[in-house]
Amino acid sequence: MPSFDIVSEVNLQEIDNAVNTAIKEVQHRYDLKGGNCEIIWDKKTIVLKANDEMKMNAVRDILQGKLHKRGVEISSVKFDKIEPIGGMMLKQSGTLIQGIDKEKAKEIVKSIKDSKLKVQSQIIDDQLRITSKSIDELQSTITYVKAQRFGLPLQFINMRS
């Protein structure tokens, strides 16, 4: 039976490249000199540090621009609120979104069922498997899910006929 999987994954190598180019730009930007601005990347979170909110926003904008250029969806990094860390410094953490959590998966499945498409969906770990007798129905499902806003980047993989 034809099927495909819906996943939410990010390419860690592209994020690493984007972070490295953002770090270089932050170090060389004239308006950020003397701002103690840094970007720290540890494969799960991205931590931004700066000494005022304007510089923090500039560093985040630079990073998001580099991520976008690398084809990484900006919604795949969820930033927390800016918090003070002492010594006139501010910090903002960004967490990578990998996989579809159970609540979001149930929301996607409910949305697909409400669309009256003739497909079956099942939640497998942190991804969804969509099956149907018709490949056209599967393609319509992909189009439908792409048009919806679920708040996380979704990819469609393993199309089998």
Mean pLDDT of the region 50-71: 93
Mean pLDDT of the region 81-96: 91
CATH number at residue 126: 3.30.70.860
Name the one residue in this structure whose structure tokens are 């007798």.
133
Range of the domain at 132: 3-8+99-160
Determine the pLDDT at residue 31.
86
Q: Is the domain of 79 the same as that of 24? A: yes
Mean pLDDT of the region 65-94: 91
Both structure tokens of 81: 């609120």
Coil, strand, or helix at residue 83? strand
Mean pLDDT of the region 3-29: 93
At residue 60, does pLDDT exceed 90? yes
Q: Is the domain of 88 the same as that of 103? A: no
Phi, psi of 46 (to 5 degrees): -120, 120
At residue 7, does pLDDT exceed 90? yes
pLDDT band at 52 (very low <50, low <70, confident <90, very high): confident
- pLDDT tens-digit series, residues 102-144: 999 999 999 999 999 899 999 998 899 999 998 999 999 999 9
- Cα–Cα distance, 53 to 50 (Å, whole number): 7
Phi, psi of 75 (to 5 degrees): -70, -5
Determine the pLDDT at residue 79.
93
Give the number of domains in the chain: 2
